[in-house]
A and B are shown apart, each in its own frame.
Chain A
Amino acid sequence: MTRLMVPHPGHFPALKEIIEVKEAEDLKEVEEVFMGGSPEVMGSGRGVLHAPLIDEIREQTEYAQQHGIKMNIALNSTCLGGHHLTFEGYKMLEWYFSELNKAGVDGVIVAEPYLVELLRDFPMKTIVSVLSYVDAPQRAKFFEDLGADVITVDTNINRHFELLKGIVKAVNCDIRVIVNEGCLYRCPFRYFHYNLASHLSSLNQPRAPLFAPDFYFDKCINIRLRDTVQIMKSAWIRPEDIKEYEAIGIKSFKLSGRTKAVNWIIECMRAYSHRSFKGNLLEILDCPQMLRYMFYIENEKLEGSIEQWKSCKKRCNECGYCAALTKEVLSYLK
C-alpha cells in the first residue's frame, strides 16, 4: 500500500489537529509524520521554529503511535562543521540518538553518510534525506550498504523515470519521493543554500550578521520572475500523477513543508491523499510558497503533461515543451 509522510511543524496541538483530520476523513495513506529535532544537537534543512526537548518528543511520539502514526525526526543537516567527527560530537550524537530511541521515535532522517552508519546501532529506521542527493542507482546502493532503510531521492530526478526505475531495482530498501517541492530544477544554489540553512538552524552560526539573510531564496524567486518556465521545470508532482510513480514500484511519498502553517499542511495532506486538486497548483507547493501570490497554474490543465516528462530527455534547448506549456497554463495574478 502507498504511504504518505506528512510534515509536522513541531508543536503538539498541530500534531493533534493533523491526526484529527486524518482520522475524521479516513486518509488511510497518511502513515508517518516528521518534525525537526533539537537545534542544540544539529541543524537541519529547514529553519527551526520549535526546539522540542526529549520529553516532548516522547509525549508526541506516544500520541502519534496511539493513533497508528509513525514519528520521524529530521536531523538532516548538510554541514556539521566537522563537529560530528570529534569525540565530543560523536558522544553527543550517540547520546541523542539513544535518547530518541528511548523516546520511541520510529525513524531518524539524516543526510550525512557518517550518521547513516552511526544509526546502525539503533533499531530506529534510518531515513536518508533528500539532502543526501541520491540521484543514481550507484549512490542509492552506497547508502543502502551504509544502513539506509528508506532513501528519499534527490528531487532533481523526480521526472527522470529511467533513473527512478534503476534505483528501485538496485536496492531493497524503500524509495521515497518528495511530491510538492517547487525548487529550481538543477538549482545552482541548492548545496550552498542547504549548507547555509544547516548552519542557521543550529548553534553553529556565522560569526557576524548576514547582509542578506536568505540570499539564495531571493535569487531563486528573482530567477523565476524573470523566467517563468523554470516554475514548470521544477520537480513537483501533481496529486493526480502519483499513480505513475506507483507503477514503477515507488510506494512511499513525502510532503514537504514543516515550516508552514498547520492548515496549509492539512490542505496538502488532503490533496495528495485524495490524489486530486482543483485550482492553482502553486497553492500546494512548498518552497517557494511566495509564487502563489504572483502566478496561477490551473492544475487541471496540466493533465497529461506527465507523459511528456516520463520520457523527457532534459535537453530543454532542443525541446521547448515546458516553455509552450507555461504559455498555455500559467497566468499572472492581478
Chain B
Amino acid sequence: MKKEISEGRIKLEEELRTLIGNIFVPEAKVFGMVCGCVGFAADLRGLQSDDVAVFREKIAAILEGVSKSVGVEPEFVYARKLPGSEEVVTLTARELCERCRREFAGSKAAPRPDIVVLKKKK
C-alpha cells in the first residue's frame, strides 16, 4: 500500500503537469472516516477551478486510476476549492457509506459551494 500511495502521488502530479502546467502535489493519502467512507485524497497547489472545468473528465479519469490502484472504489470524485476562492486544494475519490451516499452525494447540486463534483457513480 505504501508503494501504491507514493506512486499514485507521483502519477497524479505528473499527469496534471502534462495536462495543465506547474502543479504541485505535496501530499497524498488513503483515509477512513467514522461514518464508513474510505477514500484517496491528494492535496495540491497550482490548480484552479477553471482548469477543473476544462479538464473535468481527464482529471476524473486520472484520479479514478490512482484511487483504484490503492484499493478505493472511486464512487464519488470531487475537487475542493479553498473556500471563497478559485484555488483547488484537494482532489478526492471516495467510496461512500450509506449516509454520505444520500447526504453528501445525493443532491443534484454540489453538496457545498466549495466542492466541484467531477464524477458521481449512478
Contacts and interface: CB of A to CB of B under 8 A. Distances in A.
A263 B102 contact: yes
Given A48-B83, A293-B35, A259 B110 contact: no
B107 A261 contact: yes
Q: Which of B85, B111, B112 has the most CB of A within 10 A?
A: B112
B104 A263 contact: yes
Interface in B18-64: 34-35
Contact of B111 (A47, A50, A262, A290): A262
A117 interface: no
A264 B110 contact: no
B103 A264 contact: yes
A17 B113 contact: no
B84 A13 contact: no
Contact of B85 (A51, A261, A294): A51
A25 to B, nearest CB: 15
A104 interface: no
Interface size, A (range):
20 to 34
Contacts of B103: 261, 263-264, 267
Interface string B92-104: 0000000000111
Contacts of B83: 47-51
B109 interface: yes
Contacts of A17: 107-109
Interface size, B (range):
10 to 19
B44 to A, nearest CB: 19
A50 B84 contact: yes
A49 B111 contact: no
Nearest to A261: B111
A107 interface: no
A293 B97 CA distance: 12
Contacts of A263: 102-104, 106-107, 111
Given A17-B108, A17-B109, A51 B84 contact: yes
Interface in A203-262: 259-262
A262 B106 CA distance: 9
B109 A11 contact: yes
Interface in A19-70: 39, 47-51
B114 interface: yes
Given A47-B83, A50-B84, A262 B107 contact: yes
7 contacts: A11-B112, A13-B110, A17-B109, A49-B83, A50-B114, A263-B103, A293-B35
Interface of B: 34-35, 83-85, 102-104, 106-114
Given A49-B83, A263-B103, 14 more contacts: A10-B113, A11-B109, A11-B112, A14-B110, A49-B84, A49-B113, A50-B84, A261-B103, A262-B112, A263-B102, A263-B104, A263-B111, A264-B103, A266-B107
